[in-house]
A and B are shown apart, each in its own frame.
Chain A
Amino acid sequence: MSGVRTLVVWCPDWPVVAAGLSDRPAAVLAAGRVVACSAIARAEGVARGLRRRQAEARCPRLVVVDRDPAAEARAFETVVVAVEAFTPHVEIVRPGLCAVATRGPSRYFGGDGALVARVAEAVDAALPPGAPACRVGVADGPFAAERAARRGLVVPAGESAAFLSGFGVSTLGNVDLADLLVRLGVRTLGQLAELPAPAVLARFGPQGGAAHRLARGLDERPLVARAAPLDLAVTAELDPPADRLETAAFVAKGLADRLHEALGARGLSATRVLVEAEWEDGERLGRRWRLDGAGGRTAGALAERVRWQLDGWMTGAGAGADRPSGGLTLLRLVPEEVGPDDGRQQGFWGGDRAAAERAARALARVQGMLGPDAVVVAVPAGGRSPAEQVRLVPWGEPPPPVPGPARPWPGRIPAPSPATVHPVPAPAEVTGARVSVAGGPWSAVAAWAGPWPVDERWWDVATHRRQARWQVVTADGTAHLLSQHADRWEVEATYD
C-alpha cells in the first residue's frame, strides 16, 4: 500500500522567522551550534552545525539568539490557522512543518497543483513581513511529501519511490542506521529500496524495516499504524479554570504521563495525538501533533508539544479572533494513530530494554523467514472455553479490542485451566462409563462433572451455538475437557 497522499507546508528558517530576525544576518543556536540562520547570514557563509565563534568569524554582524521552541510553536499557530482554512485535519509535525491529507481538499480545489498554489498563497500572506516564502509539496506519504516540499514539487501519485531514489540515506533521520548503511555501500534510498525486504528486516531490525518501507515510497508502518482501536483518550477537567500557562502545562504533563502509561501497558505508543481544549467561554479548540522521528515518542516529548500548543492558544500570538477568552476548563489528549512500541520510547514493559530489543530483533528475523503471522503473542480475553480466554495476535501488531476477562461469563470453565488446548478438537466417543479419544482404546471414566452449558448468540441463527462441556478423569489419571454438541463429542482440551 503506498502512502496516503499528503501535502506538506515547510517554512524555511522557521526558528529565525519566529525570533523576528529574518531580515537581518541572524543565527539561532542550540547546544552551542547553529541550528538555523537567515538568508543574509547564509550568503555570508553561516551554515548549520557551526559553532558560535566560527559563525561570528564568518559574519561579524551576526545576531545570535538561543533557540526557543515554545516561541516557535506559538508563532507557527498563524500558519496552521491559514492552512486550516483548507481542511480541518492539519497535523503539526514540528514548528515550521505541517501536513494535511490531500484527498478531500484536492478534489474540491481542482487537483494537487491548484491546492498547492492556494495553500502557498494563504500561508505567505500569514507569514510575518520579511520571512522567506513557504514551500509546499505533495507526494505519497508524509516522508516523501516533506522532501517534495523542500523542492516545491508535486510528485505524481505512485512515483514517490522514483522521486526518493536519488536522496542519500541520511535523509531518513536515523544517524546510526545511515552510518551503517553507508559503510555497507548503500548510499541512496534507491539502493536501499532495491534490497529484498526480508533481508533488510533480518539485518537491521524493525527500524531498518521501517526505513526500507519509506525508501520504497510506502507508509512507515502500513500494517499496524492505524486508527487507535481502543478508547484510550485521557481527559482532565480543571476546576477552577486555569488562566495561567504554568497551571495548564502542569495538568498537561500529568495527562501526557497517563496516556503514555496506558499505551505502554498495551505495548503501544502514539504516533499522532489530538490535543483538545475547552475554555470558559465555551470555545473548543483542537490541534493534531505528529510524534515521530527525532522528537521521539516519550511522555516528555508529548507534554512539551501540549505545552507549546497551550502557549499558542493562551498567549495567542497570532490566533487572532480565535483566541479564547477566560481560563482553560478541560483538556483532552486523544491518541488518533498508534503503532507498536518499537523501543523509541522509554520503559518498555518495565523490563530490561536491551533484552526486549534483542528479542524483538530475533522475532523479526523469524517473521522475515516464515511470514508475519508465524509469530504470535497471547492477549488475555474474556470467554467461556479455555481457547476463548486468550487471543493470539501477530507479534508487533497492536492488540485488537477484546471482551474483558473481568466480565461475568456464565458457564465459564473454572481454573485451573488445561495446559493443552487442541487447536482442532479431537473427536471422541462416550458410552455409559467409558470414553474413547480420537479412535483410541476405551478407558473407564473414574470421575466426572458437568455440564457447563453454553447457549451463545441465541439471537443470531447463523452463529447460534448450544453445547455442554464436561470435565472427565479416566482410569489412568488423565483429565480431559469434553464438549457435547447434539450427539457429537469432542475433546477440547487436556489437563496434562
Chain B
Amino acid sequence: MAAERRLPVLPALGGLFPAGGLKRGSVVAVTGSTSLALSVLAAASAQGSWCAAVGLPALGLAAAAELGVALERFPLVPSPSREAGAGGWAWVVATLVDAFDVVLARPPAHVKAADARRLTARARERGAVLVVAGGGWPERAEVQLTVTSAGWEGLGQGHGRLRGRRVEVVAGGRGAAARERRVALWLPHPDGDVREVVDERRAHARRVVS
C-alpha cells in the first residue's frame, strides 16, 4: 500500500471530510446522489489510484468521466450476486478491497450486519476506502454524506438544457466527523466541474468593501 494516509478529494469536497481528504481504511456512505458518490473518488482516480465499482449496473460512466474518473483504471462488477448468489456481493467487495485504493459499492437490499462489520475491518486493515452508495448500510460510517435538496438550472418551459445543479450536502459521521456540516455545492457547475456555491450577494459585498 502506498505510504500516504489520505487520498485526495476534489477541492470543493474538502470541507466535507475532517481530514481534508479520504482517510485510508475508512468507510464513506453517500446517500441521495450517484454523482456525489462518483465525485468522492474522482480526484483519487484522476491522480492515479485504482478504483472499482461493485453492484451498480446503472452507473452512468459518461458522467463519471466528466467528473474526472479515469475509466481505464475503473473496472466494474455490475452484478456480483447474479452468479455467486447473495454472498457474492460481500466476497467480491472483500476481494477488491484487498487490491484497490477505493471501492464504490452499492449493498444489496438486506446486507448482513456481520458482512458489513467484516468489510469495514478489511478496509481498515488494507488501507482501502470503501464508498457505500445508496444507503442500507447497517454500520455507522466514518463519514456520512447525504444530499438533502437539489435544484437544476438551465432548463426552462420547453427551452434550454440542464446546465448546473445546486445541492445541499449534509455531512456527519463518527469521531472527528461527528459534528454536522452543511455545504452547498454546484454538482456540477455549468462549467462542468464541482464547486462550492459562493453566495453571490455576500461575494458582491466583499468586492464592494475591498
Interface-side segment among A73-81, A116-124, A415-423: A415-423
Question: Are A349 and B73 touching (Cβ within 8 A)?
Answer: yes
Look across to chain A and name the residue whose beta carbon is closest to the beta carbon of B78. Answer: A376
Candidates B32, B71, B161; contact of A377 at CB < 8 Å: B71
Look across to chain A and name the residue whose beta carbon is closest to the beta carbon of B47. Answer: A351
CA distance A369 to B63 in the complex (A): 29
Question: Are B72 and A471 touching (Cβ within 8 A)?
Answer: no
With a cutoff of 8 Å between Cβ atoms, the chain A residues found around residue B91 in the complex are 369
Interface-side segment among A244-252, A280-288, A324-332, A358-366: A358-366
Q: Does B11 reach chain A (CB closer than 8 Å)? A: no
Interface-side segment among B152-160, B169-177, B200-208: B152-160
Q: Which 9 A-B pairs have the closest CB atoms?
A: A362-B99, A417-B62, A419-B34, A419-B35, A417-B63, A447-B155, A378-B61, A389-B62, A390-B61
- With known contacts A362-B98, A416-B66, A495-B165, A351–B157 Cβ distance under 8 A: no
- With known contacts A471-B161, A495-B162, A351–B73 Cβ distance under 8 A: yes
Residues of chain A in range 345-373 having any CB-CB distance to chain B below 8 Å: 349-352, 355-356, 358-359, 361-363, 365-366, 369-371
With a cutoff of 8 Å between Cβ atoms, the chain B residues found around residue A374 in the complex are 77-80, 82-83
Binary interface encoding of chain B residues 11-34 relative to chain A, with 1 for a CB under 8 A from any of its CBs, else 0:
000000000000000000000111
Question: Are A377 and B74 touching (Cβ within 8 A)?
Answer: yes
Chain B residues engaging chain A, CB cutoff 8 angstroms: 2, 32-35, 38, 48-50, 52, 57-66, 71-80, 82-84, 88, 91-92, 95-96, 98-101, 149-152, 155-165, 188, 192
Shortest beta-carbon distance from A374 to chain B in Å: 6
Chain A residues touching B, majority SS: mixed
Question: Are B76 and A377 touching (Cβ within 8 A)?
Answer: yes
With a cutoff of 8 Å between Cβ atoms, the chain A residues found around residue B34 in the complex are 419-420, 496
Question: Are A421 and B59 touching (Cβ within 8 A)?
Answer: yes
How many A residues are at the interface, by size bracket? 35 or more
Question: Are B76 and A355 touching (Cβ within 8 A)?
Answer: no
CA distance A176 to B76 in the complex (A): 30
Shortest beta-carbon distance from A479 to chain B in Å: 5
Question: Are B58 and A422 touching (Cβ within 8 A)?
Answer: yes
Question: Are B2 and A471 touching (Cβ within 8 A)?
Answer: no
With a cutoff of 8 Å between Cβ atoms, the chain A residues found around residue B59 in the complex are 419-421
- With known contacts A370-B88, A417-B66, A420-B60, A448–B155 Cβ distance under 8 A: yes
With a cutoff of 8 Å between Cβ atoms, the chain A residues found around residue B64 in the complex are 378, 419
Question: Are A375 and B77 touching (Cβ within 8 A)?
Answer: yes
Question: Are B84 and A359 touching (Cβ within 8 A)?
Answer: no
With a cutoff of 8 Å between Cβ atoms, the chain A residues found around residue B74 in the complex are 377-378
With a cutoff of 8 Å between Cβ atoms, the chain A residues found around residue B98 in the complex are 358, 362
Q: Does A401 reach chain B (CB closer than 8 Å)? A: no
CA distance A270 to B77 in the complex (A): 28
Candidates B61, B76, B162, B188; contact of A479 at CB < 8 Å: B162
Binary interface encoding of chain A residues 448-488 relative to chain B, with 1 for a CB under 8 A from any of its CBs, else 0:
11000000000000000000000101000111000000000
With a cutoff of 8 Å between Cβ atoms, the chain B residues found around residue A395 in the complex are 75
Q: Does A196 reach chain B (CB closer than 8 Å)? A: no
CA distance A471 to B160 in the complex (A): 10
Look across to chain A and name the residue whose beta carbon is closest to the beta carbon of B38. Answer: A419
Q: Does A398 reach chain B (CB closer than 8 Å)? A: no
Shortest beta-carbon distance from B126 to chain A in Å: 10
- With known contacts A416-B188, A421-B59, A447-B152, A375–B2 Cβ distance under 8 A: no
Shortest beta-carbon distance from A269 to chain B in Å: 15
- With known contacts A447-B152, A477-B151, A349–B72 Cβ distance under 8 A: yes
